[in-house]
Amino acid sequence: MSVGIVGAGITGLALTHYLAERGVDVATFEAASEPGGAIDSRRVDGRVLECGPQRVRLTDEISALVDDLGLREDLLVADDDLPLYVYVDGRLREVPRSIPAFLRTDLLTWPAKVRLLAEPLTGDGDPEETAAELFTRKFGAETYHNLIGPLFGGIYGSDPARMPAKHALSGVLRMEAKHGNLLKPALKRVRSGGDTPPPISFLDGMQQLPEALYAAHDDRIALDTAVESVRADGDGYVLETPAESVRVDDVVVTVRADRAADLLADLDADSATALDELDYNSLVYVHLLADVDREGFGYQVRRDEPLQTLGVSWNDSLFDDASAARPVGVEDGSASAPDRPPRQTGREGVYTVFLGGMDHPEAMEWSETRQGRVAAEEFEDVMGASADVLNVTPIPDAFPAWDVSWSALDRVSLPEGVTLATNYTARMGVPSRVRQAKRLAGELAERADSRATPASVSD
C-alpha cells in the first residue's frame, strides 16, 4: 500500500514520520521551498521571531517526537505558573488559572465569581447557540465579557458571537456530555495544576521541529512540488504534479481549504465547492523589541477596548531566563548541556503583537509602516514602555474562522481513500495536529495490513 500526502506542514510531516515508522510507503508533496506550513521561525538581528505558533505544549506525542528527532538538548521549557492577562478597562488583569489566582484576580467581581458556581444549573449547551450565547448563559455575562470572550475569540481572531457552537465548541459539548456540566472539568483542571504539559520552544524557534522531521524523511518529501489535482485511477488515485503523475492507494490532504478545493475539483466538484466556502481570518504579526520588567505569557485584549491590538505574546519572558533556557532533562553543569547561550539575554526582549482578525480586517490593507506604528503605540499604552519595530509580517487567511461558513463542511463527502487531515476539519494547534497524524497513521497502517493479508479460503 502507498499513501500520498499533500502538504508538508506539521500534520503532513508528522503523518509521514508515523507512516514511515510503520513501514508504509509514503510520498509527501509540498509546494513551498521549506517545510512547516504555518510554523515559521525567523532570525532578525540575532533574535528568534515566530510568525506562526508562538510555542507548544509538551504533550506525550510532542515529547516522543522530540526524542525521535534528537531535539531534547535544544528544547526550551517555560514556567507554566507565570501569569496570563486580559486588558480590561485600561489595564492588565490576571487570568485565574489556579484557586489562589481566582481569589485574588480583579478581572472578575465577586458576584461574577459566585455566578460561576451556578453553571451546573444552567442546562446543557445547545449546538445551535453561538459560542457567545452558550458561554454567557452558562457562566454569566461578566465572565464571558472579561474572560472567556477575549481568550476563546483570541485563539481564532474571531468574534464568538459569530461562531456557532456546533462548529466552534464541539469538543466543549462532548466534555459537558461526559461530565454532566462544564464546571466539574474546569475545577479538576485548576486543581491538577502541574499535570498540564509545560509550554516549550526550541533554541532556534518552533521551526526546528518541522525541519527535523523533514531531515529525517527527506527521501519521502518533495519540496517545491505542487500537487495540481487528484484523480481517481481504478481502486487508487493519481497525484498530478508539474513533473510527474504519482499513483497511490490513499490520499491525505493537509493543506488550507481553498487549496484543497482546487486540487480536489476534478475528483469531487461538490465537496470542492463546499471547501471553498470556508472563511479564514487574516492576521498581522508585528515583532517589537522592548525593555519591560514583567513576566508572563502575554495578554489578550477585551473586544470592546479602544485598541486595534488583539493580543500580545511575551515569548522572551517565558524562555529567556537561565532556568527556562536550560533543556528539559539537562541539569546545571551536566556534560550533556549544550554549549550555546540562551535564545535571548538581558531584560530587553521580543514581543509579538497580533493585529487584524475578524473584527479588524482593514489592518491587512495598511502599509507596513502603519501596522508597525499602531502596534508599537498601543503596546506602549498598555505596557508603559516604548518599543522598536523589528519585523512586520501579514499572514492572509491565517486561521479558520469557525463561523457560519463551517456549515459547508456538511456537504463534504470525499470518496473512500481520500482523507482531510487539517485544522479546519479537526482541532487547531500543533499537539492536536500531531495527535491526529498519529491516529490516522495507525488507521492507514491497519488498512495496509488488511490489503496485504489474503482472505482465508475454506475447503
CATH at residue 413: 3.50.50.60
| d(C-alpha 440, C-alpha 455), whole Å | 24
Query: pLDDT per residue over 268-311, tens digit each?
Result: 999 999 999 999 999 999 999 999 988 999 999 999 999 999 99
**CA-based torsion, 136, 142, 144, 149: positive or negative:** positive
Is the separation of the CB atoms in 284 and 394 below 8 Å?
A: yes
Residue 189 pLDDT more than 50?
yes
| d(C-alpha 87, C-alpha 353), whole Å | 13
Cell numbers given for 113: 465569581
Query: Is the same domain home to 181 and 220?
Result: no
Query: Is the same domain home to 386 and 299?
Result: yes
Query: pLDDT per residue over 103-152, tens digit each?
Result: 999 999 999 999 999 999 999 999 999 999 999 999 999 999 999 999 99
- At residue 186, the pLDDT reads 80
- At residue 347, the pLDDT reads 63
Q: Which residues contact 16 (CB under 8 A, 6 or more apart)?
A: 5, 8, 26, 28, 213, 217, 220, 221
Residue 115 CB: number of other CB atoms within 10 A? 16
| d(C-alpha 457, C-alpha 329), whole Å | 54
Half-sphere exposure of 375 (CA within 13 A, CB side): 36
* Percent of the chain with pLDDT strictly greater than 90: 80
Residue 323 pLDDT more than 60?
no
Of 58-62, 277-281, 425-429, give the lowest mean pLDDT range: 425-429
Query: Is the same domain home to 384 and 286?
Result: yes
- On whether residue 366 sits in a domain, the answer given is yes
Query: Is the same domain home to 225 and 271?
Result: yes
Average pLDDT for 9-26: 97
- On whether residue 76 sits in a domain, the answer given is no
Query: Is the same domain home to 380 and 430?
Result: no
- At residue 215, the pLDDT reads 98
- On whether residue 130 sits in a domain, the answer given is yes
CATH at residue 107: 1.10.3110.10
- On whether residue 168 sits in a domain, the answer given is yes
Of 86-90, 104-108, 153-157, 316-320, give the lowest mean pLDDT range: 316-320
Query: pLDDT per residue over 192-236, tens digit each?
Result: 555 789 999 999 999 999 999 999 999 999 999 999 999 999 999
- At residue 335, the pLDDT reads 34
Query: Is the same domain home to 424 and 391?
Result: no
177 phi, psi to nearest 5 deg: -65, -35
Residues paired with 353 in a beta bridge:
286, 312
Instruction: Quickly list H helices, 97-232.
Output: 99-104, 110-116, 131-139, 141-143, 149-156, 165-168, 170-179, 183-192, 208-216
Query: pLDDT per residue over 241-252, tens digit each?
Result: 999 999 999 999
- On whether residue 53 sits in a domain, the answer given is no
Question: Closest Cα to residue 324, out of 352, 304, 296?
Answer: 296
- On whether residue 67 sits in a domain, the answer given is no
Query: Does residue 4 sit in helix, strand or coil?
Result: strand
Question: Closest Cα to residue 301, out of 359, 384, 388, 385?
Answer: 359
Can you spell out the DSSP letters for 57-111?
Answer: E--HHHHHHHHHTT-GGGEEE--TTS-EEEEETTEEEE---SHHHHHH-SSS-HH
Residues paired with 48 in a beta bridge:
43
Query: Does residue 313 sit in helix, strand or coil?
Result: strand
| d(C-alpha 177, C-alpha 198), whole Å | 28
- On whether residue 201 sits in a domain, the answer given is no
**Cα dihedral 99, 103, 105, 107 in deg (nearest 10):** 100
Query: Is the same domain home to 114 and 159?
Result: yes
Query: Is the same domain home to 275 and 309?
Result: no
| d(C-alpha 258, C-alpha 276), whole Å | 5
CATH at residue 373: 3.90.660.20
For the chain, what is the domain count?
3
Q: How confident is the model at residue 73 (pLDDT cuts 50, 70, 90)?
A: very high
Query: Residue written as cell 481570518?
Result: 281
Residue 338 pLDDT more than 50?
no
Residue 19 pLDDT more than 90?
yes
Cell numbers given for 310: 488583539
Question: Closest Cα to residue 252, out of 422, 450, 77?
Answer: 422
Query: Is the same domain home to 263 and 407?
Result: yes
- On whether residue 392 sits in a domain, the answer given is yes
Query: Does residue 350 sit in helix, strand or coil?
Result: strand
Q: How confident is the model at residue 98 (pLDDT cuts 50, 70, 90)?
A: confident
Query: Is the same domain home to 231 and 288?
Result: no
Residue 40 pLDDT more than 90?
yes
* Percent of the chain with pLDDT strictly greater than 70: 91
Average pLDDT for 1-22: 97
Element housing 199 (H / E): strand 199-202
- At residue 448, the pLDDT reads 80
Of 260-264, 310-314, 345-349, give the lowest mean pLDDT range: 345-349
Query: Is the same domain home to 393 and 290?
Result: yes
222: containing domain: 2-39+210-279+403-452
Query: Is the same domain home to 364 and 419?
Result: no
